[in-house]
Amino acid sequence: MRNLTLSTVQISTLQTEDVIQFSSPTSDDTTAVLSAIAFDLDRNATFVGTESSQGAIMVWKTSNRGSPTPGNGSFVFCGSYTSSNAGIASLRVLSESNQLVLVTRAGDIVVWELDDSGGFVADADVLGTVESGIEAVAWSPDDSLVTLATGTNVILMTSTFDVLSEVPIETNEFGEDAPINVGWGSKETQFHGSIGRAHLKADKEQVNVEHQGLVNDGRPRITWRGDGAYFAISSRSSSSLRVIKVYSREGHLQSTSETVPGLEASTAWRPNGGLIASTQNEARSGPQDARKSGKYDVVFFERNGLRHGEFSLRRPLQDDGSGYKVKDLAWPPDSAVLAVWIERLDGDVVQLWTTGNYHWYLKQELQAPGGGHFTSVVWHPEASLRLLTTTTSQLLSRTFAWETCADANATGTVGVVDGDDVLLTPFRTQNVPPPMSSYQLKTSLSTPSAHIPSAQTPVHIALSPTNDLLASVWQNGRVSVWSLNTRIGPGKEKVMDPALIWTSGLCDGEKFWRQVTVSDVTEGGKRTVRVALLGSENGSDHVAVHEISISDASDDKPERERFLVKMPEANGRLIASYIPLPPLWQDIDGEISEVDHAQDIISPICAFPEQCFWATCTVLDNTRLFVGLAYSGKLYCVTPGSQPVLLANNANSFAIASGFVIFTTAAHDAQFVPVKMLVQHAQNKNNEEEELSLANGNSTTQLSDTWEKRRVERGSRIVTVVPSTMSMVLQMPRGNLETINPRPLVMEVVKADLDSGRWQKAFVSCRKHRIDLSIIVQHNQDAFMAGMSDFVDQVQDVDYVNLFLTNVGRSQLTQKAITDVCDAVRRELTIKDLSKYVNSILTAHVVKSPPDHEAALAMLLQLRDSQPELVEDAVKYVIFLVDADRLFDTALGMYDFSLVLMIAQHAQKDPRDYLPFLRELRALPQYYQRFKIDDHLRRHGKALSNLNLAGPDYFQEALEYVDRYQLYEEGLTIWRGTEQHQAVLTAYGSWLFDRRDYKQAALAFTEAGDLRKAMVAHERALEWQELFDISTREKVPGEEVKEIAYRISDELLSKKRYLETARVYIDYAGDIRQAVVALIQGNELSEARRIVSLHSTPGLFEDVILPGALEIRSQLADDLTEMRDQLHKQIARMQELRIKKAEQPDAFYGTEDINLHNVDAMTDVSMAPTAFTRYTAAPSVASKASKRSSKTKRKMERKVGSGRKGTVDEEEYLLKSISKLGARWTVTQGEVRKLLPHLLQFSKAHRVEGEALQQAFSAFDTELREAIDEIWKKPMVEQEQPVDSWATRMQEKERDRLMDPVERVQKPEMGVVEWELDLLRTR
């Protein structure tokens, strides 16, 4: 579905003055005909050779540096050679040896040495001569071999012209690949149907005579396969018929083609190796010649010589075929186009043919300038789709590109050029697979005029983006515009009825017209069609604008107004626009200008970073957005006054439709970029100077994450997008079409329908394209709720309503939104027609969140009374929606046995399963019956309420029921304010006591008045204040109180609540000594001394306090020793680990060097990093693939950081341990601060111990702080900006895994605590 479009044209002209200047002084012949081309790919230059009638061969050079130079170029003379026969057989540049090789038809092999600039180092050097002359020459694609054909032999030589083989050109052998005869007989003995075998007995001599008349020169032709493994020669056989012989690279004959009458000399092997192309002329000798088909075909052969398909040339032949013959065939490097060089009496033409779906399309016809003749036609060996042709004095270089001709209006029409025909298909109504089409439009004129040449293939066609118009332009300037009149709706009329509304011939000198755009505007009943043409002449582009005014009156002739604007450069492109705008022109560097054709003013507005051959313009909120795709695959967008934005760097096609820029990529996906987002982004970046990229790494990368994407088939390209049908047509590499409905396109149409209140159309679109119907609500819930009545009126089908409600119930809407929508639809349906929408109403009850099954069943009861004929179907439907057992339980919970029986019968439940149970329930009292039902349904709270209503006789059972299901809160609520309330409270307290929730149990017992149990609960909860308060109020005997005091004091002491223990001993046990002992254990010396003084017991000071202080001092000293030993051991181990890690970091962690290069795979000794270092004493762990259970994973997580010696986690464990040591030291400082004042005051011995304790602790405090500062000291390393690469990312990942534990473990904060006493400092 693509056309071959002319992109650039370069013309280099050989001036007569130059020929005269460099001709030999002794020669009076100043004519020089360009006849050969050679490419210097290293220097990007082109050499051409000229011939003269007196044997002078001249070599010229033209530069192609940068790109095809815009406009006209000139030749630079390089050298000359004189031969007796001036015919050039071959001209070739050998890159490896820096030589230009000339082979003449006289047999001379001439070589020029080239310098770095491409100039000749010395005069021509004749390496040798073939005495018999050379008829044909062909070099292998890699320039390592050359094949020469003389009149009798085939010579294979190396690039240094050493002969590898020489074989006769005529032989009766088939070759090494001769077919094997399996006994099926010869062609003469086979069955030939009604025609018989008479046609095989034609007069061979007559055939030979006719064939000799068709052959142009009788010379052989040589062609190489693209990989250089084989070459083929087309030559005459002994019967004077041409055959194609295939030779191997060593010069061995492989196969010979079958005999084809009328086979001509032109031969070209497709570079991809598939087929060998040649031509067959079956022109009739006269009207009575019925033995010939009269066709002129391009035929194909396989390497084994068998024929493999053909196609016919389109141009009419003369009766005898004279004046029209194929001169040569040529393939480009990518094998996509076949160039057919045709000689005609009225001027040569080169036809460009492409194939798709087994059909050959004629895409371009290139006429020789001035009706002359071409002298050579070749494709550039590297630049794809660049064709070079020569005339007698000009070198023309044309570059082509693939382009899809599609419009963006409601028809979705696509046009494909095929010779005189334009194949049109409106994809909105028909999806016709190529090569077929909906309509074939003939572009040739039925009555050609004198000033307009005969019709031929248009060089470019364009469809209007806004209206149903088609414009075509020919190379000579003829332009035509058709109104296609495409039928959009269904009907029996023609799918298209094109009408030619205007045609004209420009005939502007030697301009090469190559592009056309068309648009129209209708104002005041007058339609103006604007046709813009782009051509080039004398090194610059020209834009011709035709404004054709067409009135509504059919008799009025169109009025034309023409403008011609000369552009500053050549090889630009016109940019189509989706709305009528002045012509837009893009130069070769990507700068976009607006052409004011009326004022002849060119105004630059913005620029792409490079020329984008495929570009278009759209407008959003009066802002123009230009989107362009370059040859490099980069897709850009830009707005006036902003910097260009790179959307993708691997795009292969794009389109703009439905508010999206849609493009496909080489990664086989389609992406949908909102136009609004691009315009906003470009406007926000107007002040930035650097080019922004949405696809590469900068701050705008997250925008690409919001684009919708979908996978497409490999190699897919966009043909067209039809917004009205929400479809996008893709073409696969093999040529077939695929129509998809992307979600973004569908959603745009659905949203537009919802905004316009077209509920049914939106619903049908969502249903057809499998989009969640809840989008109807999510798009605008308020508008949906307001238009509920219209929604029900439009979507009348009950099944559609049910489907909508089901989708809403399963959607991601909030629970409240689902409920509101279902209730609103249910109310509206009830008002509209209850009997019609009964199933929909039931659906609304069931699908809302949470489901209201009881309301649905209640509706069934309502229908049973009012409309019994609907009940049966309604019951079956609700059973279809909800599980029957669940409905049975719901009906049972409504205490309506008739409803239960109705559900059970329609659900086809076994009566033996439910009838006995129902009979048992019917025999019970009402509330006890309901209790049994609720208990059966596990509605325990409701069952307890019904059991209470059954009467006081069932209270004991109710109490047991409360205890069984822990319904204490419900029970307390039910029996509040009754005599049974205390019993429930007591049961609740006992349950709490058993659960060890003693505080809550004590409150429950107190509330119930059971103070004895409350005392036990308070004692278990260690709430001694509440305990002794109750004991006082209950007047518990003193001995029992004392016993309780000793018991609870022991528990408080075990919890290290020393002050509270002493308080209980003093207040309720009267034991001062035990109180002082408890205070001493808690290092509460100040309180102990106060108690001794208060109760006048000085003996306790000597017996308990003084020795207790020394005991506390001893314990603190032991703690200090333990902490010092821990610090010394861990610091020593830390230093050892860090020394080893610094010396051999890779070996320490068991990792590989990630900077190794050219390593294909891990070696046998490579292994994954383990949890052990190389210094580990434990055996290494073998790598094995196994699945770990969750329990094992948790166990492994607990092991991480466990600190086993030798593991990689050991250092982190040591750091955490030291950090905990700092926290422990802070707590110990507080204990020392409480002890030191008393050691100072008690006695001299105590003072000495205090001084020693303070000195030891002060020294350890200094040592610990210095150790922590040393361990957590970080080196200052300058961080260089990393270069983004694979190696850098791997290094970052490895660095994260091997992060220094110092960075993971936070340094402990060692605060300043004033714990020392100045009086105890050593003087």
Q: What is the DSSP string of 866-913?
A: H-GGGHHHHHHHHHHHS-HHHHHHHHHHTT-HHHHHHHHHHTT--HHH
pLDDT at 39: 93
Using pLDDT thresholds of 50, 70 and 90, give the confidence band for residue 462: very high
Q: Does the pLDDT value for residue 949 go beyond 50?
A: yes
DSSP class of residue 928?
H
Tell whether the model's pLDDT for residue 35 goes beyond 80. Answer: yes
d(CA 267, CA 147): 15
Amino acid letter, residue 569: E
Alpha-carbon 896 to chain mean position: 60
Q: SS3 for 370-428, per residue?
A: HHCCCCEEEECCCCCCEEEEECCCEEEEEEEEEECEECCCCCCEEEEEECCEEEEEECC
| For residues 1291-1298, average pLDDT | 59
Let me know if 615 is exposed, middle or buried by CB neighbors in 10 A (0-12, 13-18, 19+). Answer: buried
CB neighbours of 462 closer than 8 A, spacing ≥ 6? 405, 470, 471, 472, 515, 516, 517, 518, 576
DSSP conformation letters of 423-486: EEEETTT--PPTT--SEEEE-S-SS--SSSPPP---SEEEE-SSSSEEEEE-TTSEEEEEE---
| Structure token pair of residue 592 | 């976009």
* Backbone angles phi and psi of 1322, in degrees to 5: -75, 125
- Of residues 368, 608, 348, 399, the one with CA closest to residue 514: 399
Encoded tokens for 663? 């493009």
Q: Please tell me the pTM assigned to this model.
A: 0.75
Coil, helix or strand at residue 101: strand
Range picked from 133-137, 1206-1210, 1305-1309 for highest mean pLDDT? 133-137
Cα 694 from Cα 705, distance rounded (Å): 10
Q: What is the pLDDT of residues 855-869, one digit of tens each?
A: 888 888 888 878 888
Q: How confident is the model at residue 686 (pLDDT cuts 50, 70, 90)?
A: low
For 156, residues 6+ apart whose C-beta sits below 8 A from its C-beta are 145, 146, 147, 148, 163, 164, 165, 166, 247, 250, 251
Q: What is the pLDDT of residues 409-432, one digit of tens each?
A: 678 999 999 998 999 999 998 889
Confidence of residue 806 (pLDDT cuts 50, 70, 90): very high
Nearest-5° angle of CA 41, CA 44, CA 45?
100
Closest CA to 412 of 432, 428, 429, 433: 428
Residue 284 has pLDDT above 80, yes or no: no
Residue 595 pairs in a beta bridge with 602
Match 């095989």 to its residue by tokens: 200
**Which two tokens mark 485?**
């009149």
Of 4-13, 213-222, 500-509, the least confident: 213-222
Lowest mean pLDDT, pick from 37-41, 71-75, 468-472: 71-75
**What integer pLDDT is reported at residue 958 of this predicted model?**
86
Residues 746 and 725: their CA atoms lie apart, in Å, by 8
Digit-coded pLDDT (tens) for 1299-1312: 566 666 666 766 66
CA dist 848 and 810 (Å) reads 9
Give yes or no for a contact between 124 and 94, defined as CB atoms under 8 angstroms apart: no
| Dihedral sign for Cα atoms in the order 1040, 1041, 1045, 1048 | positive
What is the share, in percent, of the chain residues with pLDDT greater than 90? 32
Q: Flag whether pLDDT at 187 surpasses 50.
A: yes
Q: Which of 257-261, 970-974, 1095-1099 has the lowest mean pLDDT?
A: 1095-1099
Cβ proximity of 224 and 139 under 8 Å: yes
Q: Give every CB contact of residue 1163 below 8 A, 6+ residues apart in sequence.
A: none
Residue 67 banded pLDDT, cuts 50, 70, 90: very low
Identify the band that residue 700 occupies on the pLDDT scale cut at 50, 70 and 90.
very low
Question: CA-CA distances (angstroms) from residue 1071 to 290, 1031, 1050, 1095, 1098?
Answer: 142, 19, 13, 11, 15
Residue 194 CA to residue 588 CA, distance in Å, equals: 63
* Helix, strand, or coil (residue 608): coil
The Cα 824–Cα 812 span in angstroms is 18
Are 134 and 146 contacting, i.e. CB atoms less than 8 angstroms apart?
no
- pLDDT digit string, tens, across residues 630-640: 999 999 999 99
246 close to 255: Cβ distance less than 8 angstroms: yes
pLDDT of residue 735: 85
CB atoms within 10 A of CB 871: 19
Contact (CB, 8 A) for 375 and 688 = no
Model confidence band, residue 937 (pLDDT cutoffs 50, 70, 90): confident
**Block residue for tokens 């630009």:** 572
Structure-block tokens of residue 1188: 């770990």
The per-residue pLDDT for range 720-744, each reduced to its tens digit, is: 999 988 999 999 988 889 999 999 9
Residue 277 confidence (pLDDT) above 90 = yes
Instruction: Look at residues 1226, 1225, 1262, 1246 and name the one whose alpha carbon lies nearest to residue 1120.
Output: 1225
Residue 1284 has pLDDT above 70, yes or no: no
Using pLDDT thresholds of 50, 70 and 90, give the confidence band for residue 1179: very low
- Euclidean distance between CA atoms 351 and 363, whole angstroms: 8
**Tokens 């074989």 belong to which residue?**
167
pLDDT tens by residue, 1151-1175: 544 444 444 444 334 444 444 443 4
Say if residue 586's pLDDT is above 50.
yes
* pLDDT on residue 1042: 84
**Residue 415 confidence (pLDDT):** 94
- Spatial distance between the Cα atoms of 1026 and 1018, rounded to a whole number of angstroms: 7
Name beta bridge partners: 673.
Answer: 661
Mean pLDDT of the chain: 82
Q: Which residues pair with 710 in a beta bridge?
A: 670
CA 140 – CA 130 distance, rounded (Å): 20
Q: Which of 190-199, 833-842, 1132-1141, 1193-1202 has the highest mean pLDDT?
A: 833-842
Rounded Cα–Cα distance for residues 1221 and 1223 (Å): 5
Residue 719 contacts residue 730 (beta carbons within 8 Å): yes
Are 91 and 36 in contact by the 8 Å Cβ rule? The answer is yes
Strand arrangement, sheet containing 163-168 = 136-139, 145-149, 153-158, 163-168
Tens digits of residue pLDDT in 1023-1046: 888 888 888 888 888 888 888 888
User: Which of 151-156's residues contact partners 24+ apart within 8 Å by CB, and which partners?
Assistant: 154/233, 154/247, 154/251, 155/130, 156/247, 156/250, 156/251
**pLDDT band at residue 653 under the 50/70/90 scheme:** very high
pLDDT bin (cut points 50, 70, 90) of residue 1267 is confident
From residue 858, how far is each of 841, 865, 871 by CA, in Å?
12, 11, 12
